[in-house]
Amino acid sequence: MPPSRKVNANAESRTGGSNMPATTIVLLGLFAVLRLGLVLGRSCLPPSIIDLLYSPALASALINPLYTMEHVREGIFLLNRPGAAAGAGSGGWNLLDAAYEGSVFHLPPIILALFRPLFHVIQSKLTQDIVVGILLVFVDLLVAIAIHDLALFATFGDDANSKREARLEQIMDDKIRPKRAWIFGLNARSQENQTEQKIQDPFVEMSDMPQICCLMYYCNPIAILATSCTHSPSFQGVIYMFLLIAIRESMAISAVGTKRRALRSTVFLAFASYFELYYVVYLLPMAIWIGRSNDGTQWNRGLVGLTIGLFCFWFGLLQVVSAILVKDYTSVWARTYGYVHGFFVMNPNMGLSWYFFIQIFDRFRRYFVAMFNLLQFIFVAPLAIRLHKYPIVLTTAFFLLGTLFKPVQTLHDAALGLALVAMAPRTVSRMGNASLVSLFAIIVPASLVVMFHWLWLETGTGNANYIFFQCLAYNVFLSIITLDYISATAKRDKALRLTEKIELQGGGAANKSKSD
């Protein structure tokens, strides 16, 4: 990599900016045009293609039914039905209560309030889908740019830990060096540590990793199908956008504007957590990254407290606004977050909880609901303590674990998770063959879930067991990748610690010989 390009990359990683090559910009533009064509050409596709793309079987694997325009329409319909206006509160504030009567609509009130003007202005269902679809194309583009910025930070980070790792890689012993380091060109050594062993040419340059990660998501067929080709547009990408921008802002802390960046990161994290409560766990690593100095030796407790306080303020503000929009917010909370985390979503999806909660007896339900919800939080503190030096890895580990334990799991989650995995090539180079096999094998159960859904719920020739066993295989493969990723990072950290220890011992021995 040319020195000038590396300097520019380091500068961009510190300030959180994007410095994309022209090729990447062209590819993103071409796929954005492709996505726009799929959105605008909804009514122009052949009937056979429409039946395939808009089938409930494909949608069950790709999208969460709660984050779709169809579900929003259900809430709008309940608001506009005769008698709903008469039941609204006085003063014009409590306008959304009618949407939560019964057990039909399950999105938080602010989301419904934001979509309501669009449905009031645009009456046509097709036009609504096209307008939202166009917006989602650019939302996904922002997600891809955020991935690029995070990968740029991971590859050319200018913090003390990145410099330490680059220095120790040059003197690391071959016995603890990753066997697949040559794939990413990680065999760099200092002149005094050169060996006669032939080093293979890298398969991928480290300088290309940000572009690869960015394109892995935006050009992924799963991401394209999930946002542009389903029967009802899914705005799940909006949650990804809020989450990744929050993480990017927390990592790209510079000497100037630290408090301002802490403010922005907590705002975006609060919005992401408003959609899905699990994302609150990112507050812990974000507070660590913001409060830690660039050399990693000092902590600013004031910034840590400020980060936590700002997040609590923004998240509390969103809840207060939600409470203003309805009369009985306790009841609405039970019908939104309680519905999702109570595992009442029984639609078949890529997860296992839908089948599990169909099978269990009602008297055991509360116990397993508590267990399934708390299980994912058990790993937060241990991972944050063990991997706090590796922000990208910690982010990816949290996301993959959250995906495995989500009440409604989709292929869209896995597509983003695998793009995040690629942002840490030093960890990927230490992953074993089991992950490689799982990566290719996971395609099989993912495809069979769609087929068996069609067999069961459309033709009536299958049953729920067919889907469950494929979901089980899919989650096993995804779990293997997740655990191997975390394990490879632990090996990476152990190798660095051992190399540093050998370096210190060698330095001590050299000083002792000089004194003698």
Q: What pLDDT is recorded for position 191?
A: 44
Q: What pLDDT is recorded for position 202?
A: 75
CA quadruple 235, 344, 332, 64: dihedral, nearest 10? 0
* Total residues belonging to the chain: 516
Mean pLDDT of 245-262: 75
At 419-438, the pLDDT tens digits run 999 999 999 999 999 999 99
Rounded Cα gap, residues 156 and 210, in angstroms:
10
Tokens 């910025």 -> residue: 149
- Nearest-CA neighbor of 425 among 38, 241, 152, 173? 152
More confident residue, 15 or 66: 66
DSSP SS3 for 234: strand
3-state helix, strand, coil in the chain (%, to 5): 75, 0, 25
C-alpha count within 13 angstroms, C-beta hemisphere, residue 33: 5
Q: What pLDDT is recorded for position 85?
A: 56
Rounded Cα gap, residues 225 and 62, in angstroms:
8
Domain count, the chain: 1
Contact between residue 68 and residue 234 where contact means Cβ atoms under 8 Å apart? yes
Q: What pLDDT is recorded for position 238?
A: 96
* Residue 165 domain flag: no
Asked if pLDDT for residue 180 goes beyond 70, the answer is: yes
Q: What sign results for the dihedral spanned by CA atoms 43, 44, 48, 50? A: negative
Q: What pLDDT is recorded for position 87?
A: 53
* Residue 375 domain flag: yes
Please provide the average confidence, as pLDDT, over all residues in the chain.
85
Helix runs in 252-379, H state only: 258-275, 283-291, 301-325, 329-341, 353-359, 365-375
Burial of 479 (0-12, 13-18, 19+ CB in 10 A): middle
Rounded Cα gap, residues 223 and 31, in angstroms:
11
Q: What pLDDT is recorded for position 12?
A: 46
Asked if pLDDT for residue 447 goes beyond 80, the answer is: yes
What is the extent of the structural domain holding 206?
3-157+174-187+200-511
Rounded Cα gap, residues 267 and 318, in angstroms:
10
- Binned at pLDDT 50, 70 and 90, residue 440 comes out as very high
- Binned at pLDDT 50, 70 and 90, residue 477 comes out as very high
Asked if pLDDT for residue 91 goes beyond 80, the answer is: no
- Binned at pLDDT 50, 70 and 90, residue 221 comes out as very high
Query: Which residues fall within 8 angstroms of residue 382, CB to CB, at 6 or more apart?
Result: none
- Binned at pLDDT 50, 70 and 90, residue 86 comes out as low
Asked if pLDDT for residue 236 goes beyond 90, the answer is: yes
Asked if pLDDT for residue 273 goes beyond 90, the answer is: yes
Rounded Cα gap, residues 425 and 261, in angstroms:
27
Q: Which of 41-45, 61-65, 66-70, 261-265 has the lowest mean pLDDT?
A: 41-45
More confident residue, 417 or 256: 417
Cα angle 8, 9, 13; round to 5? 120
Eight-class DSSP state of 343: T
- Nearest-CA neighbor of 40 among 137, 119, 117? 137
At 287-324, the pLDDT tens digits run 888 887 665 667 778 888 999 999 999 999 999 999 99
Mean pLDDT of 213-241: 92
- Binned at pLDDT 50, 70 and 90, residue 253 comes out as low
Q: Which of 131-135, 200-204, 215-219, 330-334 has the lowest mean pLDDT?
A: 200-204
* Residue 516 domain flag: no
At 324-337, the pLDDT tens digits run 999 888 889 999 99
* Residue 195 domain flag: no
Query: Could you tell me the CA-to-CA distances from 79 to 22, 91, 238, 414 in Å, in that order?
Result: 48, 17, 24, 35
Q: What pLDDT is recorded for position 200?
A: 67
Cα angle 152, 155, 157; round to 5? 80
Q: What pLDDT is recorded for position 45?
A: 77
Contact between residue 439 and residue 414 where contact means Cβ atoms under 8 Å apart? no
- Binned at pLDDT 50, 70 and 90, residue 507 comes out as low
Query: Could you tell me the CA-to-CA distances from 40 to 28, 229, 288, 341 in Å, in that order?
Result: 18, 11, 44, 35
Q: What pLDDT is recorded for position 11?
A: 42
| Token reading at 258 | 């630290």
Tokens 């159960």 -> residue: 445
* Residue 162 domain flag: no
Asked if pLDDT for residue 266 goes beyond 60, the answer is: yes
Cα angle 160, 163, 165; round to 5? 110
Tell me, rounded to whole angstroms, the distance of Cα 147 from its chain centroid. 10
- Binned at pLDDT 50, 70 and 90, residue 414 comes out as very high
Contact between residue 341 and residue 108 where contact means Cβ atoms under 8 Å apart? no
Q: What pLDDT is recorded for position 378?
A: 92
* Residue 178 domain flag: yes
Asked if pLDDT for residue 197 goes beyond 60, the answer is: no
- Binned at pLDDT 50, 70 and 90, residue 175 comes out as confident
Helix axes 391-404, 283-291, angle to 10 degrees: 170
Q: What pLDDT is recorded for position 84?
A: 61
Helix runs in 350-421, H state only: 353-359, 365-375, 380-387, 391-404, 411-421
At 118-165, the pLDDT tens digits run 888 998 898 999 999 999 999 999 999 999 999 988 887 777 777 888
Q: What pLDDT is recorded for position 3?
A: 42
Asked if pLDDT for residue 170 goes beyond 60, the answer is: yes
Highest mean pLDDT: which of 37-51, 82-96, 242-256, 362-376?
362-376
Q: What sign results for the dihedral spanned by CA atoms 148, 149, 154, 157? A: positive
Rounded Cα gap, residues 212 and 422, in angstroms:
8
Q: What pLDDT is recorded for position 412?
A: 95
Contact between residue 403 and residue 414 where contact means Cβ atoms under 8 Å apart? yes
Percent of the chain with pLDDT over 90: 54
- Binned at pLDDT 50, 70 and 90, residue 65 comes out as very high
Count the neighbouring beta carbons within 10 Å of the beta carbon of residue 403. Answer: 22
Rounded Cα gap, residues 386 and 379, in angstroms:
11
DSSP SS3 for 54: coil
Asked if pLDDT for residue 485 goes beyond 80, the answer is: yes
- Binned at pLDDT 50, 70 and 90, residue 187 comes out as low
Rounded Cα gap, residues 87 and 304, in angstroms:
45
Asked if pLDDT for residue 7 goes beyond 50, the answer is: no
- Nearest-CA neighbor of 132 among 217, 198, 42, 221? 42
Eight-class DSSP state of 459: I
Q: What pLDDT is recorded for position 64?
A: 93
* Residue 38 domain flag: yes
* Residue 166 domain flag: no
More confident residue, 483 or 388: 483
